[in-house]
């Protein structure tokens, strides 16, 4: 018997395989990092009878969550500038802070904190966009997560690069270094239509096709962005990106708050994916994205947290619940984005957007064992008539007790409530956060 072989026995298995089924009193058999079998608990095959068992009899087992839009190292700027709209927040606070502080060590430490926060909340994969991507990858590898790294590109200089060509060169060098790593994948990440020129977008479109990379960008996040594009280019940002060849089946557009019906149909025709970030959009007063209308138009919509500087939590449970509730109000329809659809957005839809749907996002035989166990028996969760409804409308990230990535236990919350990570000690994370806080606060005074 191998140490990589074990059986998880939850009360409920939530496969997220599109059938909307809940399997009660079933077990999931894991072998060498993959899901080997799903069977009733009383029908475990004889050949697995001596495998170790993880008792999750008070839990729901579901696929690891996929965070479709993040700026992980911005965890170090959590709460740095709150209660502001997007452009004042960026221009007057975040970009100046980044000019002062962003470095390889800043990105590594912030990403390490973000990875731990995400793992503790059941996120096993995230789609990132930030500077010094190698530093983020190092943190990801230490924590044992899966990440899709956006190779950020802008026109203006930062501590990372000075020209668009330098951003591209540095990004492709990192991609070449890690392209054989099965847990790391890449996209070009032109930051936004208002920070990237036509010539650079055209270059990215060509390179993405040549290197078989996706594209990850912000789109229609605010009305001001759209008005600026009309004044500068004569068209809305979506029309501009469409003409420049940026929109396609490997493109993830974050936010999409101000998309009109015809634009949703264009994006659906192009096969574009949307990363819906409801909490960040609310906090920055950007608006309420038409997520339900996007789904009706045939778009694949996943969920993102955005960065901790603008949310301020990397918490997909909060995003699920907020997305479902906002859609009901926006549509004046209580049936808009039901619980199962919200859970799809946090799992298989996110995997599909990253081209990983054959590996993760659902509990199916042959897929990677990226799994999470969520305890649903505490007093605040009882009674539990429907586990899927409970996962969206009741559960919180504090109820995640186990997070596996490729069958490896990367996070566990003990019965005493202690957080245990496989790659880093909680006290080290606390020390890192406090050191950066002291450094940044001292410079402000």
Domains of the chain, by residue range, sit at: 6-63+367-413, 65-353
Q: Hey, what are 389's tokens?
A: 């409804």
Per CATH, 6-63+367-413 and 65-353 having the same topology is answered: no
Q: What percent of the chain lies above the pLDDT cut of 90?
A: 94
Give the tens place of pLDDT for each residue, 111-150: 999 999 999 999 999 999 999 999 999 999 999 999 999 9
Q: Quote the mean pLDDT of the chain.
A: 96
pLDDT at 3: 58
Mean pLDDT, rounded, for 56-78: 97
Flag whether pLDDT at 284 surpasses 60: yes
Q: Which of 345, 429, 407 is nearest to 183 (CA)?
A: 407
What is the C-alpha to C-alpha distance for residues 175 and 149, in angstroms, rounded to an integer? 9
Reported as a pLDDT band with limits 50, 70 and 90, residue 443 is confident
Flag whether pLDDT at 2 surpasses 60: no
Flag whether pLDDT at 283 surpasses 90: yes
Flag whether pLDDT at 401 surpasses 50: yes
Reported as a pLDDT band with limits 50, 70 and 90, residue 1 is very low
Beta-bridge mates of residue 373: 61, 402
What is the C-alpha to C-alpha distance for residues 289 and 308, in angstroms, rounded to an integer? 19
- The lowest-confidence range among 70-74, 90-94, 328-332 is 90-94
Mean pLDDT, rounded, for 384-392: 96
Flag whether pLDDT at 444 surpasses 80: no
Reported as a pLDDT band with limits 50, 70 and 90, residue 32 is very high
Pairing type for strands 400-405 and 371-375 reads: antiparallel
Look at phi and psi of residue 24 and say left if phi exceeds 0, alpha if psi is from -120 to 50, else beta. Answer: beta
Flag whether pLDDT at 445 surpasses 90: no
| Sign of the CA dihedral with 252 first, then 280, 61, and 340 last | negative
Buried b (16+ CB within 10 A) or exposed e, 301-318: bbbbbbbbbbbbbbbbbb
Give the tens place of pLDDT for each residue, 227-248: 999 999 999 999 999 999 999 9
Q: What global pTM score does this model have?
A: 0.97
CATH number for the domain running over 65-353: 3.20.20.140
Buried b (16+ CB within 10 A) or exposed e, 190-226: bbbbbbbeeebbebbbebbeeeebbbbbbbbbbeebb
Mean pLDDT, rounded, for 348-353: 98
What is the C-alpha to C-alpha distance for residues 315 and 171, in angstroms, rounded to an integer? 28
pLDDT at 19: 86
Which whole-number Å values give the CA distances from 207 to 119, 165, 202, 350, in the listed order?
Answer: 33, 12, 9, 24
Flag whether pLDDT at 409 surpasses 80: yes
Secondary structure of the chain as H, E, C letters:
CCCCCEEEEEEEECCCCCCCCCEECEEEEEECCEEEEEEEHHHCCHHHCCCCEEEEEEEEEEECEEEEEECHHHHHHCCCCCCCCHHHHHHHHHHHHHHHHCCHHHHHHHHHHHHHHHHHCCEEEEEEEECCHHHHHHHHHHHCCEEEEEEEECCCCCCCCCCHHHHHHHHHHHHHHHCCCCCEEEEEEECCCCCCCHHHHHHHHHHHHHHCCEEEEEECCCHHHHHHHHHHHCCCHHHHHHHCCCCCCCEEEEECCCCCHHHHHHHHHHCCEEEECHHHHHHCCCCCCCHHHHHHCCCEEEECCCCCCCCCCCCHHHHHHHHHHHHHHHHCCCCCCCHHHHHHHHCHHHHHHCCCCCCCCCCCCCCECCEEEEECCCHHHCCCCCHHHHHHHCCCHHHEEEEEECCEEEEEECCCCCEEECCCCHHHHHHHHHHHHHHHHHHHC
Flag whether pLDDT at 394 surpasses 80: yes
* C-beta of residue 301 within 8 angstroms of C-beta of residue 274: yes
pLDDT at 204: 98
* C-beta of residue 432 within 8 angstroms of C-beta of residue 107: no
Q: Which of 100, 66, 114, 39 is nearest to 432 (CA)?
A: 114
- Range 6-63+367-413: architecture per CATH: Roll (2.30)
Give the tens place of pLDDT for each residue, 165-198: 999 999 999 999 999 999 999 999 999 999 999 9
């Amino acid at each position: 018997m191998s140490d990589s072989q074990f059986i998880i026995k939850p009360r409920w298995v939530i496969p997220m395989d599109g059938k909307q089924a809940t399997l009660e009193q079933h077990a999931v058999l894991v072998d060498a990092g993959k899901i080997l079998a799903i069977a009733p608990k009383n029908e475990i095959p004889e050949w697995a009878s001596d495998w170790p068992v993880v008792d999750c009899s008070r839990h729901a087992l579901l696929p690891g969550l996929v965070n479709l839009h993040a700026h992980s190292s911005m965890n170090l700027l959590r709460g740095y500038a709150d209660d502001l709209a997007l452009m004042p927040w960026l221009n007057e606070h975040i970009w100046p802070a980044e000019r002062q502080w962003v470095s390889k060590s800043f990105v590594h430490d912030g990403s390490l904190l973000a990875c731990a926060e995400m793992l503790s909340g059941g996120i096993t994969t995230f789609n990132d966009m930030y500077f010094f991507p190698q530093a983020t990858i190092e943190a990801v590898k230490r924590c044992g997560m899966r990440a899709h790294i956006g190779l950020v590109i802008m026109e203006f200089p930062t501590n990372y690069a000075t020209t668009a060509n330098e951003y591209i060169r540095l990004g492709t060098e990192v991609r070449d270094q890690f392209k054989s790593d099965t847990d790391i994948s890449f996209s070009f990440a032109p930051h936004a239509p208002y920070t990237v020129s036509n010539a650079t977008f055209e270059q990215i479109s060509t390179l993405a096709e040549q290197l078989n990379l996706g594209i990850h960008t912000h789109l229609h996040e605010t009305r001001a962005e759209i008005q600026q594009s009309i004044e500068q280019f004569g068209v809305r940002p979506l029309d501009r990106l469409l003409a420049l060849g940026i929109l396609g089946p490997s493109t993830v557009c974050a936010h999409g708050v101000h998309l009109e019906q015809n634009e949703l149909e264009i994006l659906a025709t192009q096969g574009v994916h949307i990363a819906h970030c409801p909490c960040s959009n609310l906090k920055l007063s950007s608006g309420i994205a038409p997520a339900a209308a996007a789904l009706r138009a045939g778009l694949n919509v996943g969920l993102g947290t955005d960065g901790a500087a603008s949310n301020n939590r990397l918490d997909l449970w909060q995003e699920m619940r907020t997305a479902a509730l906002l859609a009901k109000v926006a549509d004046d329809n209580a049936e808009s984005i039901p619980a199962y659809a919200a859970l799809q957005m946090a799992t298989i839809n996110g995997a599909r957007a990253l081209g990983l749907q054959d590996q993760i996002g659902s509990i199916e035989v042959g897929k990677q064992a990226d799994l999470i166990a969520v305890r649903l028996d505490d007093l605040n969760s009882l009674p539990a008539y429907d586990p899927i409804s409970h996962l969206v409308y009741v559960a919180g990230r504090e109820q995640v007790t186990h997070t596996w990535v490729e069958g490896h236990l990367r996070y566990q919350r003990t019965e005493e409530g202690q957080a245990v990570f496989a790659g880093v000690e909680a006290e080290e994370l606390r020390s890192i956060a406090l050191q950066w806080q002291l450094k940044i606060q001292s410079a402000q005074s």
